[in-house]
Structure 1
C-alpha cells in the first residue's frame, strides 16, 4: 500500500515523520511519489499558530478529494494540545496526538479492517518517558537529524507547545549512542541533535547536554555534532567549558532570543534579560573562536512599542547573527498572551517583520563576506552539477564547491571565496 506524509513545523516534527516513514515501510507500506495517489495520508501537525491547524485540515480535505477511499490521519501537536477541537475534524478518519506515535501503525491497520473512525489521543502524564522511534537512515539527507529530548517545563506567554508536548523527557544515552553507531556505519558524518527544549536534556535523567555531546563524539565515524535550538540561560559556565573541549562540536549556536528588549522579554515570560543573553554570547565566543550565532525573533508581541522594536533591531546588529528567523506574533488561543492588552496591528507587525529581516540579511552578508579566504571544512550535501555540490561549513556558512574526485557526504577542507548573496564559492584544498 502507498502512504504519503505531510509535515508542518519544527525539525523535531520532521525527525518524527522520518521515523514513522521507516516504521510503516518496515511493515509493508511504500512511500507514494508526489505524482501518485496514496492509500493512506498522514499529516504530522504543528499547532504553534492557528494557521498551522488550518493547513493540516486543508491538506486532509485535499487528500480526500484526490482519493475518496484513502485513509486520512491527523496526528501530532494540534490534536494533543486541542483534543476536543481536533476530534471534530471530520476530514480525518484517524486522530492521534504527539504521544504513542508507534501505535499509529496499529490504528491504521485496524481502520483498514473495520473502516471505523478512531480518535486515540492519550494525555501526557507527569512521569511519561521518552518514546523511542529510532531511525537507521534518513533518505535525502547527508546530516543525521536525531531527536534526543521531548517536552518543555517552561511557560512562555505566547507558547502552546507544553500543552502539546508535555514535560521534559530525555532519551537514554545508550539508545542515542547505539543509533549513532548505526548511522555512522551507514556513512553519516554529521549528526544534528534536536529537541523541543534541547538545553533541558538530562534534567530528568541526572545527566546533561554536555555529557551526551562528549560521548557522541567518541562514536567511531562521527566527525561533527551540531546542536539545535538552545535556551541561553541554561548554558552555564560549566556546560560551555565541557562542550568547548569537544572538537567535533560545530561552533554554531542557535540561541533562542525572541526579543532584544528586556521589557518585551519580561512580558513574554522569558527567563533572561537582553544583557544576560549578551553575556552568554560573549562567553561562547571566548570558548569557541570563530563561532556563529543564529536565532528566532518575534515582532509585534503585545505591548511592543516602536522604541522596544528599535532595541531589538539594534541588538541584532550588535550580536552579529549569521541568520535570523523573523516571525510576526500570532495570537494563539490557550496562551496568556492571547488576552494581553495592547495587541499590535497586523500592518505594523508586517512592517516590523520586513524591516528586521532586511537588517538581519544585511548583517548576515557582512559576516559571511568577512570570512572570504578562510580555510574551512565543507560537508558535501547536494550535488547540483558535475563535481559541484552545495554544503555547509562547521560554522554553518552555505557553500557551493567544485570538488572533483569527492562524493556526496564527504567532509573536505576548502578555502572560501566570494559570497553571491546566497552561498560562498569554495575551492577544495586537496
Structure 2
C-alpha cells in the first residue's frame, strides 16, 4: 500500500518531448501525481521531482533529451530525476548512465510512477523499471488536459507495421486500443473539464479496435455524439486506413474538422517499398483527390522522411515533384537517422548527412510555399476561431476549423472561446494569418 502522505507539499515539474501521444500521457501521469498530493510547477521552477517524458524518433531527438535532462540536473542537483518514454524504453542503460538520473521507467511503467518514488532518495545509480522491448500489451488510456486549450485523447497505442526505418513497435509494442465505450467516457471526462476540442491521437489510430471487433469509423461516429465537445480532429492516420467512409463522414460532420494529417514518407514507389510501407503513390494521390473533391477547404498535412538509406538523388526529385503537384497544405519533414535494430540498416546505400540536410531544406521551403498558398485562399473570409490561452508578443493565437493559425491582439477573455474572425492578411513576422474580431 502506497503512503501518499509522503507526497504532500512536494513539487513536481514535467517536460514532454515529441508527439501528441506523449503529451496526453504526461498529462495523465501529472493528474495521478496531483491527486496524490503533489503540487505541479513549471519546468523552469525549483521542484522536488522532475519527470521527463522522452522521444526517440531520431538520433537528434535522443540528443535533445540528453541535453535538456543534463541542464535540469545541473540547475537542480538535489532533485529526484525521473526519465520515461520511448528513449527510456529503448535505451534504459544509456539513460541510467546520465549522472543525476534517479529513476528510468518504460513506456507502460510511467503510469505506475507512485510505486517507484516513495522515498525520493538520490542514489549513485539509477533504478530501471522497463518491460521487455516490444512486449507492451496493455492499453493505458490517457488524455491531456489543463496544459493547453485543445485536448489530446489517446485512442490507440503501439504498431504492427514494422516499417524498415522505425523503432516505434519496439518502444511501444504491438497495436492495441480500448473499447469504444471506454474511449467515449474519456472524451466525456475531458468535456466535463471544459475542453472544447479533442485531437484523437495514437501511433496508428486507423488500426483502432483490431482486437475488439470494432473500428475507427465506428469510434468517430460514437464520439460525434459526445455533448460539450465542439470540435474533433483526426491526427495522423495511415493512407491505407483512411477509408472513403471516414472521408465522407468528416465531409458531412458538424464536429469533425476538415483537417487531415496523412503520413506519406516518400513520393517514390521504390523508396516506399524499401520502407516497407503498405501503399503506393497512386493510392496516396487518390486519397488527397477524394478529400479535396468532398471537402475543398480541407487542410491536409503530410509527413515525409528525407535521406533514408537507398534514396537516390533521382528518388528525392521524384518525391519533391510528387509533393509539389499535390493539393496539400503543409509538410512535416523528418531527416532520417539510423536507428538500432531496424531493417533499414541492411540497406547499403547511405545518403551523406549534408545531402540529407539539403533535401530537408528544400522540402521545408516547399512546405512554406504550400502553407502560404493555402492561407491566401481565405483572405477576406470570416471563420470561427478557437483561441489558445497564451500571449505571444501581445497577440493571442487560435485555429480555424480547417487549421489556419490566426492571431489577434491579446484579450484574456478570448482563451478557450470560439469567436468569428475576419482573416485579413498573412502576418509579416510569422506564417500566421492576421485576423480581426467581428
> Is the structural similarity TM-score above 0.5?
yes
Match of 1:300 in 2: 307
Within 5 A, what are the aligned runs for 1:206-225?
Answer: 206-225=213-232
Per the TM alignment, residue 157 of structure 1 is displaced from its structure 2 partner at its CA by 0.8
**Alpha-carbon distance between aligned partners in 2 of 1:50 and 1:403, rounded to the nearest angstrom:** 38
Q: Which residue of 1 aligns with 2:350?
A: 343
| Cα distance, 1:74 vs structure 2 | 1.8
Selected match of 2:266 from 254, 259, 279? 259
Q: Counterparts of 1:54 and 1:411 in 2: how far apart (Å)?
A: 39
1:116 and 1:329 mapped to 2: Cα distance? 33
TM-score, with normalisation over the residues of structure 1?
0.91
1:166 aligns with 2:169: no
Question: Residues 365 and 202 (structure 1 numbering): CA distance in 2 closer, same or farther, change over 3 Å?
Answer: same
Residues 103-139 of structure 1, C-alpha deviations (whole Å, 9 max, x = no match): 112101155499985221123676823113455x323
Matched, 1:291 2:293: no
1:65 matches 2:74: yes
Counterpart of 2:163 (choices 142, 156, 160) is 156
Query: Does residue 1:93 correspond to 2:102, yes or no?
Result: yes
The reply to whether residue 369 of structure 1 matches residue 376 of structure 2 is yes
| Aligned match of 2:141 | 132
Which position in structure 1 is the counterpart of 2:58?
49
Per-residue deviation, 1:387 = 10
How many equivalent pairs are there? Answer: 427
Q: Which runs of 5+ in 1 are unaligned?
A: none
Deviation, 1:164, is: 0.3
2:49 is aligned, of 40, 48, 60, to 40
Q: For the residues of structure 1 that align with 2:242 and 2:311, how far apart are their CA atoms?
A: 27
The alignment partner of 1:75 has SS state of: strand
1:248 corresponds to: 255
Q: Which residue of 2 aligns with 1:378?
A: 385
More divergent stretch after superposition (400-409 vs 77-86): 400-409
Q: Please give the alpha-carbon distance, in whole angstroms, between the structure 2 residues aligned to 1:69 and 1:113.
A: 8
In structure 2, what is the Cα distance between the partners aligned to 1:335 and 1:116?
29
Q: Distance in 1 between matches of 2:395 and 2:41?
A: 29
8 Å contact 1:102–1:133 — kept in the other structure? no
User: Aligned residue for 2:7?
Assistant: none
RMSD: 2.6
Tell me, yes or no, if structure 1 residue 272 matches structure 2 residue 282.
no
1:425 counterpart residue number: 434
